[in-house]
Amino acid sequence: MTTSIELKKQEFELSQRQATALSTSNIVPTAFQNNPGNCLIALEMAERMNLSPMLVMQNLDIIHGKPSFSSKFLIARVNNCGLFSPLRFKFEGTPNTPHWGCRAVSTDLKTGEEITGPLVTLQMAKSEGWYDKKGSKWQTMPELMLQYRAGAFFARLYAPETTMGLMTSEELRDIEAQKKPSLNEVFQNPPQSDVVDISEMQ
């Protein structure tokens, strides 16, 4: 008689073989090529989310070793979860001013209640440090970024099961860009000056 432990071992070995096979493909995203470990994690997440492994890998970004989903993927997840009508985005304020903002709105399909997500504004983006970072998309395509962040906030607040507890790729890039170097990073990549200001490090 096969025990539960033996079944789990067989399932894990099967997943390992699947992960190895996926890692040899040049169609999967770069983060998964020749990396069975990353593929194995993607397979586990796909199973928990009841989605195709390829779909998960296409939308799972690895940023500084941290997994994250793209905002458009989370918006699609909310739209297909069966709990709400498709997300719509309402803008408030005058475009390109600090109080210009966006909310994601939807309707609860069970109760008919309108569900309104948190307001995201350009002032918030500037205050949080998202706007002024080098190469920020907030400066070049603010309308789209407002919608992406509003959609992510809605998903996290009203449909957290769709996010798997992960941040969006856009959020993670904004946060990582603000981080100051650690002591290890400074000594591995010392500044040109002979003086290191420890007060500026976390």
Q: Do 90 and 172 belong to one domain?
A: yes
Is the domain of 57 the same as that of 77? no
Q: Are residues 82 and 128 in the same domain?
A: yes
- Rounded distance between C-alpha atoms, residue 54 and residue 56, angstroms: 5
Is residue 186 pLDDT above 50, yes or no?
no
Identify whether residues 76 and 48 lie together within a single domain: no
In this structure, the answer to whether residues 54 and 138 fall within a common structural domain is no
Residue with tokens 């690895």: 62
pLDDT reported for residue 56: 93
* pLDDT tier, 125 (very low <50, low <70, confident <90, very high otherwise): very high
Q: Is residue 57 part of a domain?
A: yes
* pLDDT beyond 70 at 138: yes
pLDDT at residue 184 above 60?
A: no
pLDDT above 70 as % of the chain? 85
Do 41 and 89 have their domain in common? no
Helix (H, G, I), strand (E, B) or coil at 116: strand
Cβ–Cβ contacts within 10 Å for residue 172, how many? 19
Question: What is the H or E stretch that residue 3 is in?
Answer: none
Q: What pLDDT, on a 0 to 100 scale, did the predictor assign at position 193? A: 46
Q: Is 164 found in the same domain as 135?
A: yes
The span from the first CA to the last CA of the chain, in angstroms, equals 56
Judged against a pLDDT cut of 70, whether residue 177 lies above it is answered with: no
> CA dist 150 to 51, 67, 88, 89, 177, Å?
24, 20, 10, 8, 20
Instruction: Kindly report, residue by residue over 13-31, the tens digit of the pLDDT.
Output: 888 999 999 999 999 999 9
pLDDT tens column, 100-122:
999 999 999 999 999 999 999 99
**Mean per-residue pLDDT for 156-177?**
89
Residue 186 lies in a domain: no
Task: Say if residue 179's pLDDT is above 70.
Answer: no
The domain tally of the chain equals 2
Q: Look at residues 171, 193, 196 and name the one whose alpha carbon lies nearest to residue 182.
A: 196
167 lies in a domain? Answer: yes
User: Does 163 lie in the same domain as 101?
Assistant: yes
Q: Give the pLDDT band (50/70/90) at residue 175.
A: confident
| pLDDT of 178 above 80 | no
- Residue at 199 is within a domain: no
Structure tokens at 167: 């941040």
Q: What's the rounded Cα separation, in Å, for the pair 91 and 120?
A: 9
Using alpha carbons, select from 25, 22, 24, 3 the residue that is nearest to residue 14: 22
DSSP run (H or E) holding 54: helix 53-59
The mean pLDDT value of the chain amounts to 87
* Contact (CB, 8 A) for 110 and 158: no
Q: In terms of residue numbers, what domain contains 94?
A: 72-180
Residues 91 and 160 in one domain: yes
The total of other beta-carbon atoms located within 10 Å of residue 136's CB is 18
**Same domain for 77 and 50?**
no
List pLDDT tens digits, range 31-80: 999 999 999 999 999 999 999 999 999 999 988 888 899 999 999 999 99
Q: Are 82 and 172 found together in one domain?
A: yes
Phi and psi torsions of 9, nearest 5°? -65, -45
